[in-house]
């Protein structure tokens, strides 16, 4: 494939000046810190969802120093419901690294930024272009879609050869002037017009040179990820209730819902009664509740909740640093996984 600029930048900038988004909260005072937080939140998440989370996050942590000084539980609490919690854990690590190693200033090169936890090449490009006006290309999901359609780049972008071609396109089209506006413009185009389904091609400023549109097949690009059946896993979660409190346990730092607080789970071949004994609790007979199916990107988790009302407890539970009696009426500010929030709302509010 021969790559030709086709004057993308100038047309995108003309369109952006009139039709682009100029009032997103992270566009106001676009410091490296503010841009970085927004870019991490926007990974795998739509703008409409991120706005409220971003606003609350900035109210609590208005600087990288404030974020670095916060306990991880506070960070995860503000992230609850946003998903992909490794993003929050990596943000916390990066904030501390920036404060401790860089005196609170973000690196000013792509290489320096990529060396930090959770920052890839595209995120580094966004930080540099949007907050420092440094000419650095980006390639988030929206930009991949725009470039794949415009240049008719076949194949799934998860394949290295396809991704490399798209990076060539991104490098080619990024201008030397108004870099921040161009970066926002091409992201906006993918988010508002060049959408995954039903793209508004008739309104697109690149319609005259879009190769996929000329062939009448814009939605064939980019190529789809090969489909695999999602495996299903099973988990029995225990809603252990005592005087308006629910027993939570902190999950390991890595893995599923790493660092978040969740409900105790039965072990393999363990009954809820056995689990209560293991926890040092005497409970009423268990109450089996309806199953809940939670879908992740790569598997489904079928949750079988069981409610246990505590009659008597041993001291071991209260002495365990990894356990917490969570007050439903006055909840602690800790990070909870989305299905745990749902189960607490459905089955425990009445116990408060």
- CA dist 91 and 324 (Å) reads 25
pLDDT of residue 304: 95
Question: Tokens 């980006």 belong to which residue?
Answer: 138
Residue ranges making up the domain that contains 334: 232-351
Provide CB contacts within 8 A for 213, sequence distance 6+. 149, 201, 204, 207
Give yes or no: residues 314 and 215 share one domain: no
What share of the chain has pLDDT > 70, as a percent? 94
Same domain for 211 and 331, yes or no, is no
CA dihedral sign of residues 163, 168, 169, 171: positive
Helix (H, G, I), strand (E, B) or coil at 231: coil
Q: What is the pLDDT of residues 11-20, one digit of tens each?
A: 999 999 999 9
Listed residues 200, 220, 240: the one ending a domain: 220
- What angle (nearest 5°) sits at the alpha carbon of residue 71, between those of residues 67 and 72? 90
Domain harbouring 110, CATH code: 1.10.340.30
Please report whether residue 1 resides in a domain.
no
Residue 336 belongs to a domain: yes
Q: Are 114 and 24 in the same domain?
A: yes
Task: Report whether 106 contacts 98 (CB < 8 A).
Answer: yes
Q: Domain check: are 164 and 259 in the same one? A: no
Tokens 């408060």 found at: 352
Question: pLDDT tens-digit profile of 86-111?
Answer: 999 999 999 999 999 999 999 999 99
Q: Do residues 123 and 77 both lie within one domain?
A: yes
User: Using 50, 70 and 90 to split pLDDT, how confident is the model at 317?
Assistant: very low
In a domain, 127, yes or no: yes
pLDDT of 172 reads: 93
Q: For 269, left (φ over 0), alpha (ψ -120 to 50), or beta?
A: left
Q: Which of 195, 220, 245 is the last residue of a domain?
A: 220
In the predicted model, is pLDDT for residue 39 greater than 60?
yes
The total domain count for the chain is 2
- What integer pLDDT is reported at residue 319 of this predicted model? 46
Strand partners, 340: none
Structural domain contains residue 270: yes
- Supply the residues annotated as catalytic: 39
| The pLDDT value given to residue 214 | 95
The whole-number pLDDT of residue 333 equals 87
Considering the domain architecture, whether residues 200 and 237 belong to the same structural domain is answered as: no
User: Do 103 and 209 belong to one domain?
Assistant: yes
For the chain, how long is the longest CA-to-CA vector? 74
CA dihedral 154, 156, 160, 161 (to 10 degrees): -10
Pairing of the two strands 232-242 and 300-313: parallel
Residue 227: inside a domain = no
Structure tokens at 231: 């495996």
Residue 271 covered by a domain? yes
332: which 2 tokens? 């602690």
User: Per-residue pLDDT tens for 232-259?
Assistant: 999 999 999 988 899 999 998 888 888 8
The CATH number of whichever domain residue 248 belongs to comes to 3.90.79.10
Same structural domain for residues 198 and 237?
no
Task: Tell whether the model's pLDDT for residue 312 goes beyond 50.
Answer: yes
Angle of CA points 45, 229, 302, to nearest 5°: 70
What is the average pLDDT score of the chain?
Answer: 92
Tokens of 237: 């979660």
pLDDT at 27 over 70: yes
Cα–Cα distance list, 116 to 63, 111, 120 (Å): 17, 9, 9
Domain assignment present for residue 2? The answer is: no
Q: At 8, list the tokens.
A: 């993308």
Cα–Cα distances in angstroms (integers) from residue 164 to residues 40, 138, 161, 211, in the given order:
22, 12, 5, 19
Coil, helix or strand at residue 22: coil
Question: Is 211 part of any domain?
Answer: yes
d(CA 278, CA 270): 10
Average pLDDT, integer, range 308-337:
77
Nearest in space to 86 (alpha carbons), one of 255, 210, 246, 268: 255
CA distance 339 to 308: 18
Quick: pLDDT tens for 57-76: 999 999 999 999 999 999 99
Share of the chain above pLDDT 90, in %: 78
Task: Between 314 and 76, name the one with better pLDDT.
Answer: 76
pLDDT of 328 reads 85
- Do 280 and 134 have their domain in common? no
pLDDT of 352 over the 60 cut: no
Which of residues 220, 243, 266 is at a domain's end?
A: 220
Query: For residue 196, what pLDDT is reported?
Result: 94
pLDDT value at 226 more than 90 = no
Residues 93 and 41 in one domain: yes
Token pair for 328:
């439903």
**Do 64 and 113 reside in the same domain of the chain?**
yes
- Quick one: 114 and 249 in the same domain? no
């Amino acid at each position: 494939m021969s790559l030709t600029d086709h004057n993308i930048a100038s047309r995108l900038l003309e369109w952006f000046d009139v039709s682009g988004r100029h009032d997103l909260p992270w566009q106001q005072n676009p410091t490296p810190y503010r841009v970085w937080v927004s870019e991490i939140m926007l990974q795998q998440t739509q703008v409409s969802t991120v706005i409220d989370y971003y606003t609350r996050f900035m109210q609590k942590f208005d600087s990288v120093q404030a974020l670095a000084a916060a306990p991880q539980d506070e960070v995860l609490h503000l992230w609850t419901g946003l998903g992909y919690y490794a993003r929050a854990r990596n943000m916390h690590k990066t904030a501390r690294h920036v404060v401790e190693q860089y005196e609170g200033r973000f690196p000013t090169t792509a290489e320096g930024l990529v060396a930090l936890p959770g920052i890839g090449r595209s995120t580094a490009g966004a930080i540099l272009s949007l907050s420092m006006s440094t000419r650095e290309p980006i390639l988030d999901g929206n930009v991949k879609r725009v470039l794949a359609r415009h240049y008719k780049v076949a194949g799934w972008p998860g394949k290295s050869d396809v991704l490399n071609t798209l990076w060539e396109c991104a490098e080619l089209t990024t201008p030397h002037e108004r870099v921040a506006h161009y970066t926002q413009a091409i992201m906006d185009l993918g988010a508002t017009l060049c959408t995954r389904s039903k793209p508004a091609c008739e309104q697109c400023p690149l319609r005259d040179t879009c190769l996929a549109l000329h062939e009448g097949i814009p939605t064939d690009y980019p190529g789809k990820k090969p489909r695999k059946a999602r495996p299903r896993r099973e988990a029995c979660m225990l809603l252990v209730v005592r005087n308006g409190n629910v027993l939570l346990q902190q999950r390991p730092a890595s893995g599923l819902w790493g660092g978040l607080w969740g409900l105790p789970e039965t072990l393999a071949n363990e009954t809820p009664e056995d689990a209560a004994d293991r926890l040092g609790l005497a409970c009423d007979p268990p109450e089996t509740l309806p199953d809940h199916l939670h879908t992740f990107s790569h598997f489904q988790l079928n949750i079988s909740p069981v409610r246990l009302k505590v009659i008597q407890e041993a001291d071991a539970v209260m002495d365990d640093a990894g356990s917490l009696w969570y007050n439903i009426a006055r909840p602690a500010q800790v990070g909870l996984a989305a299905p745990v929030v749902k189960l607490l709302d459905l089955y425990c509010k009445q116990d408060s």
